Structure 1
Amino acid sequence: MTTVLIVDDHSIFRSGLRADLDASVTVLGEAATVDEAVELIASLRPEVVLLDVHLPGGAGGGGAEVLRRSATLLDGVRFLALSVSDSAEDVVGVIRAGARGYITKGSSGAEVSRAVAAVAGGDAVFSPRLAGFVLDAFGAVAGEQAASDDELDRLSAREREVMRLIARGYAYKEVATDLFISIKTVETHVSAVLRKLQLSSRYELTAWALERKLL
């Protein structure tokens, strides 16, 4: 069971999300403004905060301001941005402030529930394609790889290509199209990559790539 706080300025959205989350998620409360969110995060200490990027109140900093004002709690409370926006500026802004992931409001209740569990477990979670914004913003360009040679040497050239696309949030079908291979082959490569790197999910793979500044 994972405890969450829903932070969004639209009551209808909060109610709908609360109803759609599965039984593995317990909602401790809701907040509609920056000030309300900061106060409830400090008092309730949820495991995960589902945080809208654009919020009224405070100094106008929205979700990023909530994160900044809750900075002392980041070790115990994890933040998952949930927004209608998929702009690079919004994504990078909240990730720099300390959010562990960013998913769009087009996600289903089941998808949000899985993302909550992943973030609570320490994974980084992004909707498809959004991971690329983060990788680019944090200087993940060719020649700046910080991963050890030993780790990358475990992967074949094709596995590295698949790894980078999956880490950016591409769906298996998109990877197959880009690399001119079958979806089944993509699945095989992903399984091999996760096994060789001793990871258990694509979310862990994204976090692994982010930490090592890989494209």
Structure 2
Amino acid sequence: MSAEGSSRQAGEPVTVFLVDDHGLFRAGARAELESLSDDVTVVGEAGSVREAVAGIVRTKPQVVLLDVHMPDGGGAEVLRQIRPELPDVVFLALSVSDAAEDVIAVIRGGARGYVTKTISSRDLVRAIIRVADGDAVFSPRLAGFVLDAFADRPGAPPISDPELDLLTPRERDVLRLLARGYAYKEIASELFISIKTVETHVSSVLRKTQLSNRYELSRWASDRRLV
């Protein structure tokens, strides 16, 4: 890999590379970004860690929009492989997850910011430009996680919860949306999975947590700051 930088020149658009394992989301995000502003241009996209690493090395974007959870390692693995060789590339995590452990993991890995997929398209454009210009950007609720991890307890790892650790990343995503009051159909749409898959994940979460209903799951998720 080359360590060549990709500094932004005044007046030039920010070059962006999209990393997300859902093709439909990438297509929508790309269309939105390119239609809203001449200040951002998408130079590539990838749906896996392997594709992401190869694409980022090839295109050398200024900003990478990085999904946190992917089947072959996720955003943290992309950071691990790219950061040492291309330190000038800026990473902005964009995820459905707002769990503290996810936020802290990618920030420790070198991401410059973390926003959730509830962000508006215009705010996402602003966030991209800000991180390209050197700012750190976080969705409002997430900044506290970063302060807790890096200011109050410098160098300390995130607190482990043995019960929470039993859940897969996708089960946590489903639980988080369920606890917010989403219907199964809405969860399926948000996560680009089938309603049957949502039901399977909920059943698995109920079994692992030894809880019996949605109300108990919501309270359990709230107690662990997943909501």
Band of TM-score, shorter chain:
0.5 to 0.7
Distance 1:74 1:115 in 2: 21
Change in CA separation of 1:8 and 1:129 when aligned onto 2, cut-off 3 Å = same
Q: What RMSD in Å do the two structures reach over aligned CA positions?
A: 1.3
Alignment of 1:121 with 2:121, yes or no, is no
Structure 2 regions of 5+ residues with no counterpart?
A: 1-12, 155-227
Matched residue type, 2:43: L
Residues 51 and 81, structure 1, Cα contact 8 Å, conserved in 2: yes
Alignment of 1:52 with 2:52, yes or no, is no
Cα shift at 1:55 = 1.2
Q: What is aligned with 2:15?
A: 3
Q: What is aligned with 2:44?
A: 29
Distance 1:44 1:32 in 2: 16
Cα shift at 1:56 = 2.1
Cα shift at 1:121 = 0.4
TM-score by length of 2: 0.59
Distance 1:88 1:111 in 2: 22
Cα shift at 1:139 = 3.8
Residues 6 and 49, structure 1, Cα contact 8 Å, conserved in 2: yes
Once the two structures are aligned, what percentage of the paired residues are identical?
62
Cα shift at 1:105 = 0.3
Distance 2:70 2:26 in 1: 13
Q: 99, 104, 112: which one pairs with 2:124?
A: 112
Q: What is aligned with 1:101?
A: 113
Q: 70, 79, 94: which one pairs with 1:82?
A: 94
TM-score by length of 1: 0.62
Residues 74 and 98, structure 1, Cα contact 8 Å, conserved in 2: no
Secondary structure class of the residue paired with 1:138: helix
Distance 2:118 2:126 in 1: 14
Q: What is aligned with 1:67?
A: 79
Cα shift at 1:20 = 1.2
Structure 1 regions of 5+ residues with no counterpart?
A: 145-215
Secondary structure class of the residue paired with 1:30: strand
Taking the TM superposition and a 5 Å limit, the aligned residue runs for 1:148-187 are none
Q: What is aligned with 2:208?
A: none
Distance 1:137 1:111 in 2: 25
Cα shift at 1:74 = 4.6
Matched residue type, 1:11: G
Number of matched pairs: 139
Secondary structure class of the residue paired with 2:130: helix
Distance 2:100 2:42 in 1: 29
Q: What is aligned with 1:40?
A: 55
